[in-house]
């Protein structure tokens, strides 16, 4: 397992955030909003902090609920022995193949797959 999760966002002030995997206590995906979903990465409490968490905002995924949390857990185990594992955002627009018409060999694509981008990743303690 890697030591850090790398979350790249479209927010210039927090373009890249590294989250220590050893400090993660829980990953919870909230219910999708109108256009965005919020994922909370809760960290283990330390002596002075009661709670600490990262809040990650991402556009709603085309694959439905649970895929954003799965992207984080997949990234946690994707790079065994490595230092950093990048979290890949879920698909926001699925690819669309050309209608089947007896075609042999390759299948033409009319719509390319588009992955979402993380909008923001903020850290808060209480």
Q: What is the pTM (predicted TM-score) of this model?
A: 0.79
Q: What is the pLDDT of residue 41?
A: 94
d(CA 97, CA 16) in angstroms, rounded, equals 34
Token output for 91: 């698909």
Instruction: Tell me the residue ranges of DSSP E strands in 1-126.
Output: 4-8, 16-20, 24-29, 36-43, 52-59, 84-86, 91-93, 96-97, 109-111, 114-115, 120-125
Q: What is the pLDDT of residue 48?
A: 73
Model pLDDT for residues 22-78, shown as the tens digit of each residue:
999 999 998 877 888 899 999 998 777 678 999 999 887 777 778 889 999 999 988
3-state secondary structure of 68: helix
103 CB-contact burial (10 Å; exposed 0-12 / middle 13-18 / buried 19+): exposed
What value, to the nearest 5°, has the Cα angle with vertex 98 and ends 68 and 89? 15
Q: What is the pLDDT of residue 17?
A: 93
């Amino acid at each position: 397992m890697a030591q850090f999760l790398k979350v790249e966002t479209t927010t210039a002030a927090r373009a890249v955030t590294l989250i220590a995997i050893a400090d993660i206590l829980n990953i919870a995906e909230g219910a999708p909003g109108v256009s965005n979903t919020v994922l909370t990465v809760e960290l283990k409490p330390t002596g002075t902090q009661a709670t600490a968490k990262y809040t990650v905002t991402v556009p709603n995924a085309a694959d439905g609920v649970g895929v954003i949390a799965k992207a984080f857990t997949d990234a946690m185990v994707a790079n065994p022995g490595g230092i950093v594992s990048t979290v890949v955002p879920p698909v926001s627009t699925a690819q669309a193949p050309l209608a089947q018409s007896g075609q042999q060999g390759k299948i033409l694509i009319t719509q390319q797959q588009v992955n979402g981008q993380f909008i923001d990743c903020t850290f808060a303690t209480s």
